[in-house]
Amino acid sequence: MSETPTRTRLYAHGHVVAAGFPAAETAARLREDPDAVAWIDMLDPDQADLEALAGDFRLHPLAVEDALHEHERPKLDHYEHHLFMNVYGVRLDIAGTDVRARKTEISAFVTDRALITVHKSPGDLDRLVERWDADPDLAAAGGLDFLVYGLLDTVVDSQQAAVQTLDEAMDRAEDGLLEEGGAPRPVRLFGFALRKALSALRRAVAPMPDVVRRAAGAEIGRAGDKLHPYYRDVEDHAQQTAELIEHSLTRINELLDADLAEQSNVLNEVTRKLAAWAAIIAVPTALTGYFGQNVPYPGYERWWGFLVSTALIVISAAGLWVFLRKRGWL
């Protein structure tokens, strides 16, 4: 095997009995202890790394191929000797108007006594390990089922936290987006960034209730009945997260549409005012053009003629201003 970063653990009766051993030794250690289950995690392995484990754990070539490819959809596939699962852990970074949803793709082979995870990019494994170590009694009762449950629970928790953070960020942006006259440009950019992050998360979150439901019914180990309530809890959280992300997408779209409508209203108001002032200016222009260029006007070449034409211009313009003012155009 190549120098792929690898973490290994051997569990027996809910406790870690070995850790940090070479992945190639896992099958032999499991044969020595019939009650033990194992976890192997590999960061961005190549074909040779996975094929080295494929013989010991009878991994299907199609599943190995999916584990090596990036951007696989969240899913749970059944093969003859194992399950193959693909999920996404999520971390959210917000800095000013920049919103980044960082996803860690995790592929998992679930055999009868081993959980083999493949990280296609660096992720926070310590949180997963802490989740497993937090409940040794349930780990002892659940065995491999517990390891799979812990993985799904950690992934769904990360997704739920990210979506809730986006929803709270939307609360802060809402007042700015609904501001009279349209939102300031930074607020509008923040709204677009929120929508982009929600759309990216949706692809990772939406399939999760089905993935958890199918994992709960897969009878991974002998402790399925004991862990069914825990799986249902994770499925409930996954469903809540999926519903929240749909609600948030609808909400941010409505907010951005409302801001666009307000901008259109402002633009219409400005257009009306420009048209009104153009009409006011056009009246004296027409009058002076008529009297000055076409025919002699009353008082032509008389001193009082200038006063008459000036009064007519002022009265016409003022009358038009009053009329447009009453119509709300000014």
Q: Among residues 64, 104, 112, which one has the least CA distance to residue 84?
A: 64
User: Would you kindly state where each structural domain of the chain is located, as residue ranges?
Assistant: 6-263, 267-326
Cross-strand pairs, 19: 9
pLDDT of 140 = 83
- For 12, 173, 201, 218, 303, the CA distances from 137, given in Å and listed in that order, are 11, 45, 34, 22, 110
Instruction: Look up the pTM and report it.
Output: 0.78
- Domain 6-263 falls in which CATH fold? Beta Polymerase; domain 2 (3.30.460)
pLDDT of 301 = 67
pLDDT digits (tens, 9 = 90+) for 174-191: 877 777 667 787 888 888
Residue-by-residue pLDDT tens, the chain, 330 positions: 456 789 999 999 888 999 999 999 999 999 999 889 999 999 988 888 898 899 899 999 999 999 998 888 999 999 999 999 999 999 888 887 888 888 999 999 999 899 999 988 887 788 888 889 888 888 888 888 899 999 999 999 999 999 999 988 888 888 777 776 677 878 888 888 899 999 999 999 999 999 999 998 886 765 557 788 899 999 999 999 999 999 999 988 888 888 877 777 777 877 877 777 787 777 777 766 756 645 566 666 676 777 877 787 788 778 878 877 776 666
pLDDT digits (tens, 9 = 90+) for 41-63: 999 888 888 988 998 999 999 99
Residue 38, both tokens: 């194992």
Tell me if residue 65 falls in helix, strand or coil: helix
Q: Among residues 166, 160, 225, which one has the least CA distance to residue 191?
A: 166
